[in-house]
Structure 1
């Protein structure tokens, strides 16, 4: 991995080059001294990890696709035996390699994916007639103990994805008082709040890319419910978006600085402002309408960029 202070080192190096305190011929040596480029041992670790996870996923999907491609040729017991055998081998591998957390996580991930394949195989073989949402919900319920044991953020994200699918498919099947986007927005926002709160207590949860991914999902559906609230005149959608925006600004500006989340908030505010103008301005002023939208987008985008850049500069040691 790169040096944890690489962001500050890059900024310092860029300032030295910009102010002509560092000759162009000395830049490669400065990069090496600042350890901004990966060392051979780091490349070896990266390639080793990449090949390991590629092999894990390749093995899992190879078994699943083999069963699907040979559906007519394989008997019922052969299909179940292949998938259940993969689950059993994964659990055995998890128990055997008790000192290697990477292998244990890989085994549990294979087992978790194989459970989904087993449930789909069972439903297809015996034609249970269950609704699609039940497959993903039961998949999430059955694999929850493994997710808890793993302490692996990828499995937690996969489990959250299963919940999203089950909620969405449930609403498609039975409907609800509000659009399904409200339920998915609440689910992802609660997941973001719990994850962010827990990240300060559990080091393995404190991974920025996972937090940013959940934040992206929460922000996407926050905008979706805002659009529903604005154009379908449902006040609850606008209220939920306002609460979300205030919470994101407070947490990621004053509690723990996260420029990615703040940039997503800025984008959301710009889109919301443009949507309000589209809703309120008369449609007869076509030319003026587009001029106002362009001016608002350019001006707000420029201000947001300068603000985010100033936050980054203040955060640098």
Structure 2
């Protein structure tokens, strides 16, 4: 897989305008840019291995769910703890940083969550649901760092997001939009996660970290944009609007000038279109509804089409031909 990693590095440099099309073509004479049959087989083996781990973990969890009334609580806990111990033992005896070790650590992380759920259900601790996901994320953190696996990091990110969303919903009635702080807190927390993916994660993972970076960008922009759009109408959300302007401007500068990433830049561009549409609707709220609806439709279609054309031109630039 080293060939694919080298090719991915070359494409990344080309996207960041560190290589032009001629330099990339010259590099292709020494580093193949297309995967060979062996690379496809290796990738298929990895997909099948991690898929089997996910299916096996799901089977164990559903086994407990289906046989819950028929099993003694000691048997449930013993079997779940045994699954954690067995997967952890397999990881210890596997070659370091091998696919088998990463798969075993992912399985151990999943079984840890099942064990925590069993403990909470058996002893009725009274904890909120968000505490289960938060505890799960904390406990598997050493396993995730040790695994150096995108699959384990993806699980960790999902647990952190679930814990954050459930915490906000449980304590501040997030979906009723009674207060502006929950959206702002979620946006700032996801900003920290995005900065972690941008600066720290590439040093921890040997393989491509772009998918995790893109995922964190989506998680950041959803509450950030939504809070800013509400802030156009509600003065209580002015802080959300101000944070959006500063954070979006900084990210747009970074991903367009410093470290070009057209996917994240496109997200920021269409997010700005959404905010501009909300601002235009607020400005024209006293006019005729039919006129407003048609004007907003024309604005959204025109601005989205213009953004798409611009992004296409950026992708077709010589430095982005890769």
Same fold (TM over 0.5): yes
- Residue in 2 that maps onto 1:310: 313
Are the structure 2 counterparts of residues 74 and 218 from structure 1 closer, same or farther at C-alpha, using a change threshold of 3 Å?
same
**C-alpha displacement at 1:236, in angstroms?**
0.2
Within the candidate set 297, 313, 316, 1:294 is matched to 297
TM-score (norm 1): 0.83
Within the candidate set 84, 89, 102, 1:105 is matched to 102
Contact preservation (8 Å) 2:148, 2:204: no
Within the candidate set 268, 271, 275, 1:268 is matched to 271
**C-alpha displacement at 1:310, in angstroms?**
2.6
Q: Distance in 2 between matches of 1:143 and 1:151?
A: 13
- Residue in 2 that maps onto 1:116: 113
Q: Distance in 2 between matches of 1:200 and 1:67?
A: 38
**C-alpha displacement at 1:275, in angstroms?**
0.7
Within the candidate set 135, 139, 142, 2:136 is matched to 139
Q: Distance in 2 between matches of 1:302 and 1:46?
A: 37
- Residue in 1 that maps onto 2:260: 257
SS of the residue 1:129 aligns to: coil
RMSD of aligned C-alpha atoms?
2.6
Q: Distance in 1 between matches of 2:11 and 2:138?
A: 41
**C-alpha displacement at 1:139, in angstroms?**
1.4
- Comparing 222-231 with 60-69, which one deviates more in the overlay? 222-231
Contact preservation (8 Å) 1:230, 1:237: no
Are the structure 2 counterparts of residues 41 and 245 from structure 1 closer, same or farther at C-alpha, using a change threshold of 3 Å?
same
**C-alpha displacement at 1:100, in angstroms?**
5.0
Aligned residues: 293
SS of the residue 1:282 aligns to: coil
Q: Which string of whole-angstrom CA distances, capped at 9 and with x for unpartnered residues, describes residues 136-191 of structure 1? A: 12112222221222222332232232222223322333339744222221111111
**C-alpha displacement at 1:200, in angstroms?**
5.3
Contact preservation (8 Å) 1:97, 1:103: yes
Contact preservation (8 Å) 1:199, 1:206: no
Q: Distance in 2 between matches of 1:37 and 1:153?
A: 22
Within the candidate set 140, 150, 153, 1:156 is matched to 153
**C-alpha displacement at 1:6, in angstroms?**
8.0
SS of the residue 2:126 aligns to: coil
- Structure 1: 5+ residue stretches without partners: 13-34
**C-alpha displacement at 1:197, in angstroms?**
1.6
**C-alpha displacement at 1:279, in angstroms?**
1.4
- Residue in 2 that maps onto 1:225: 227
Are the structure 2 counterparts of residues 153 and 105 from structure 1 closer, same or farther at C-alpha, using a change threshold of 3 Å?
same
Q: Which has the higher contact order (CA 8 A, sep 6+)?
A: 2
- Residue in 1 that maps onto 2:25: none
**C-alpha displacement at 1:221, in angstroms?**
1.4
SS of the residue 1:65 aligns to: helix
**C-alpha displacement at 1:222, in angstroms?**
1.2
Q: Which string of whole-angstrom CA distances, capped at 9 and with x for unpartnered residues, describes residues 215-269 of structure 1? A: 1111111112113322322210101111121121111011111000011011101
TM-score (norm 2): 0.82
Contact preservation (8 Å) 2:229, 2:274: no
Contact preservation (8 Å) 2:97, 2:147: no
Contact preservation (8 Å) 1:105, 1:152: yes
- Residue in 2 that maps onto 1:194: 196
- Residue in 2 that maps onto 1:31: none
Within the candidate set 59, 67, 78, 1:81 is matched to 78
Q: Which string of whole-angstrom CA distances, capped at 9 and with x for unpartnered residues, describes residues 268-294 of structure 1? A: 011111111111213542232133212
SS of the residue 1:191 aligns to: helix
- Residue in 2 that maps onto 1:32: none
Contact preservation (8 Å) 2:57, 2:110: yes
- Comparing 172-181 with 220-229, which one deviates more in the overlay? 172-181
Q: Distance in 2 between matches of 1:273 and 1:205?
A: 38
The 4+ residue runs of structure 1 with deviation greater than 6 A are: 5-8
Contact preservation (8 Å) 1:215, 1:261: yes
Larger gyration radius, structure 1 or structure 2: 1
